[in-house]
């Protein structure tokens, strides 16, 4: 509850931050109408894109940079109706750029209200920080993701490499979702250097999930050649460094064209190429992950919970690949993609939430073969027992238990089992652990209790004594029998006998 409270507090702080900016923005909008000309007069006196000062007004396609000084330390690059076009709409007449700017400086100096309905003064509202349903949801999911990444990373019960891989995977997803939240709330216009800050991680989703799968299903040990999987990410970082070094003004230009459906950002970042690279990475690693997943389904070493975990991770990854494919198609073809955009982010959010749920409910699944349930496999990592011999010993052991019912011998021990299998005590223990997922004593108790239950089910007249059944299945006393029986069935032998008779 304390952790949830922290997340809610952070969320409320962010929500409080929004109206504060909005209030400053609105209060200063009228105040700075008189100074807004400072950033544009040079553009009118030395008109950009107009060689002839008497050139009639063109359609509103120009980009005008307006420095607003509205309590927010940034330059707003407004891709909107230029002031000259707004003036033409108000006065219903055309004029040259120079004569218009010189004759109406007083309008800007005095901030006269007759022009307040002009589109130019409604433009900044479009770029002000805002808050909506999606922003709140994405922010909440991102905060959960950051929290889960920390929790996983410091959980000592999870294999070290497995927790590094999956916590990094969660962190990158959460960081991307946070950046989306930051972007659609218009805070990138306030802090333009956050432009494309999550882009370098785009090619890490596949490799991280792939090696995580490989680690938990095959106990894979990393090799130096595996570093080649990081080459695409390193090249991408090198590629975007010059973009990150651009001044705020140019980043705002790129943000503006993206916001208004322009193509400058696509040219700057070669968006189709980046989309193709990311999609290729997701598909290729998705194929590798699928092979690992299908192979793990047939592994006796993995628990049922681990197999379900692996399957769900694989399915959510495929869902994200499909959603991103549609999104990439929309981006490349410059089509409307609002719904598709939210679908791919929702797939990422689903992954984060599922990982968060699992971290709280079943943290042991994060380690796969390294989990507490399977920790005895580590003892046999360097065992000389071959897979074929192990399988043969398993079949012989099943015969001893199912046909000869060796478990009924009250003095049975691991040495006895090893002698009957004609192998070493160590090999006998390994076969039991690997093929039955339990130790020797639990295996003996399992067979004995199942035999006792079968006897009780057939005792319709309740003529048998509990102690006689205990001796029959191999126990030396009633106390040990009762304890083992209740541990296995959650009821005592006497209670089970009554239930069985009534049934």
The SS3 call for residue 66 is strand
Question: Smallest Cα–Cα separation from 431: which of 385, 472, 469, 384?
Answer: 385
This prediction has a pTM of 0.54
Lowest mean pLDDT: which of 184-188, 246-250, 283-287, 366-370?
366-370
In this predicted model, what pLDDT tens digit does every residue of 85-141 receive, in sequence order? 333 333 343 433 333 333 333 333 344 444 444 444 444 566 678 888 888 998 999
pLDDT of residue 345: 86
The secondary structure of 113-174 as a DSSP string is: GGGTTSHHHHHHHHTS----HHHHHHHHHHHHHHHHHHHHHT-TTS-HHHHHHHHHHHHHHH
pLDDT of residue 430: 84
pLDDT of residue 207: 93
pLDDT of residue 269: 58
Q: How confident is the model at residue 261 (pLDDT cuts 50, 70, 90)?
A: low
pLDDT of residue 308: 83
In this predicted model, what pLDDT tens digit does every residue of 449-493 receive, in sequence order? 999 888 888 877 777 888 888 899 999 888 889 888 888 888 888
- Average pLDDT on 162-182 reads 89
pLDDT at 337 over 80: no
In this predicted model, what pLDDT tens digit does every residue of 38-87 receive, in sequence order? 333 333 333 333 333 333 333 333 333 333 333 333 333 333 333 333 33
What does the mean pLDDT of the chain come to? 71
Four-residue CA torsion sign, 405, 409, 415, 420: negative
Retrieve residue 13's tokens.
């702080």
In this predicted model, what pLDDT tens digit does every residue of 291-329 receive, in sequence order? 988 888 877 667 777 788 888 888 988 999 998 888 888
- Domains by residue range for the chain, with CATH: 29-126 (no CATH), 133-374 (1.20.1070), 377-502 (1.10.10.60)
pLDDT at 502 over 80: no
- Average pLDDT on 231-241 reads 92
pLDDT of residue 71: 33
- Average pLDDT on 238-242 reads 90
pLDDT of residue 448: 92
What is the rounded distance in angstroms from the CA atom of residue 123 to the CA atom of residue 116?
11
Local structure of residue 32 (DSSP, 8 states): T
The secondary structure of 201-231 as a DSSP string is: GTTSHHHHHHHHHHHHHH-----GGGGGGGH
pLDDT of residue 49: 35
Give all strands (DSSP E) within 302-387, no chain letters. none
pLDDT at 416 over 50: yes
Q: How confident is the model at residue 146 (pLDDT cuts 50, 70, 90)?
A: very high
pLDDT of residue 28: 38
- Average pLDDT on 267-277 reads 75
Question: Smallest Cα–Cα separation from 78: which of 259, 236, 226, 200?
Answer: 259
What is the rounded distance in angstroms from the CA atom of residue 88 to the CA atom of residue 94?
6
pLDDT of residue 288: 92
pLDDT of residue 336: 63
- Average pLDDT on 419-446 reads 86
Sole residue written with tokens 């309905």: 117
Local structure of residue 476 (DSSP, 8 states): S
């Amino acid at each position: 509850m304390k952790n949830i409270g922290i997340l809610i507090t952070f969320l409320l702080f962010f929500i409080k931050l929004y109206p504060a900016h909005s209030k400053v923005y609105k209060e200063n909008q009228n105040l700075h109408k008189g100074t807004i000309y400072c950033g544009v007069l040079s553009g009118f006196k030395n008109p950009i894109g107009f060689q002839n000062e008497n050139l009639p007004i063109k359609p509103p396609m120009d980009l005008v940079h307006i420095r607003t000084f509205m309590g927010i330390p940034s330059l707003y690059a407004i891709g909107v109706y230029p002031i000259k076009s707004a003036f033409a709409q108000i006065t219903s007449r055309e004029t040259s750029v120079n004569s218009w700017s010189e004759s109406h400086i007083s309008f800007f100096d005095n901030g006269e209200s007759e022009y307040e309905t002009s589109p130019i003064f409604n433009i900044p509202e479009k770029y002000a920080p805002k808050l909506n349903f999606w922003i709140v949801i994405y922010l909440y999911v991102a905060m959960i993701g950051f929290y889960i990444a920390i929790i996983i990373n410091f959980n000592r019960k999870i294999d070290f490499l497995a927790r590094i891989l999956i916590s990094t995977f969660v962190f990158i997803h959460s960081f991307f979702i946070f950046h989306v939240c930051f972007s659609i709330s218009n805070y990138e216009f306030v802090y333009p250097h956050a432009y494309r800050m999550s882009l370098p991680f785009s090619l890490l989703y596949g490799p991280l999930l792939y090696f995580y799968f490989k680690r938990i299903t095959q106990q894979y040990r990393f090799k130096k050649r595996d570093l080649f999987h990081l080459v695409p990410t390193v090249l991408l970082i090198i590629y975007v460094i010059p973009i990150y070094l651009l001044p705020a003004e140019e980043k705002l230009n790129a943000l503006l064209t993206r916001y208004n459906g322009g193509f400058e950002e696509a040219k700057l970042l070669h968006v189709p190429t980046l989309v193709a690279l990311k999609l290729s990475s997701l598909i290729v690693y998705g194929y590798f992950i699928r092979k690992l997943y299908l192979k793990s389904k047939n592994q006796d070493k993995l628990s049922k919970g681990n197999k379900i975990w692996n399957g769900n991770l694989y399915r959510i990854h495929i869902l994200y690949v499909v959603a991103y494919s549609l999104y990439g198609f929309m981006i490349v073809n410059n089509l409307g993609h609002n719904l598709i955009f939210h679908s791919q982010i929702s797939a990422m959010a689903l992954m984060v939430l599922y990982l968060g749920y699992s971290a709280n409910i079943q943290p042991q699944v994060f380690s796969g073969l390294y989990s507490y349930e399977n920790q005895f496999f580590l003892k046999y990592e360097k065992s000389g027992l071959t897979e074929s011999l192990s399988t043969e010993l398993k079949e012989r052991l099943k015969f001893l238990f199912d046909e000869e019912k060796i478990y009924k011998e009250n003095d049975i021990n691991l040495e006895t089992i090893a002698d009957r299998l004609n192998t070493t005590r160590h090999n006998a223990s390994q076969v039991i652990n690997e093929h039955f997922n339990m130790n020797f004593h639990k295996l003996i108790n399992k067979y004995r209790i199942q035999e006792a239950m079968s006897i009780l089910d057939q005792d319709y007249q309740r003529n048998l004594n509990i102690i006689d059944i205990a001796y029959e299945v191999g126990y030396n006393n009633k106390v040990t029998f009762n304890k083992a029986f209740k541990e296995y069935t959650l009821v005592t032998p006497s209670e089970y006998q009554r239930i069985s008779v009534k049934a």
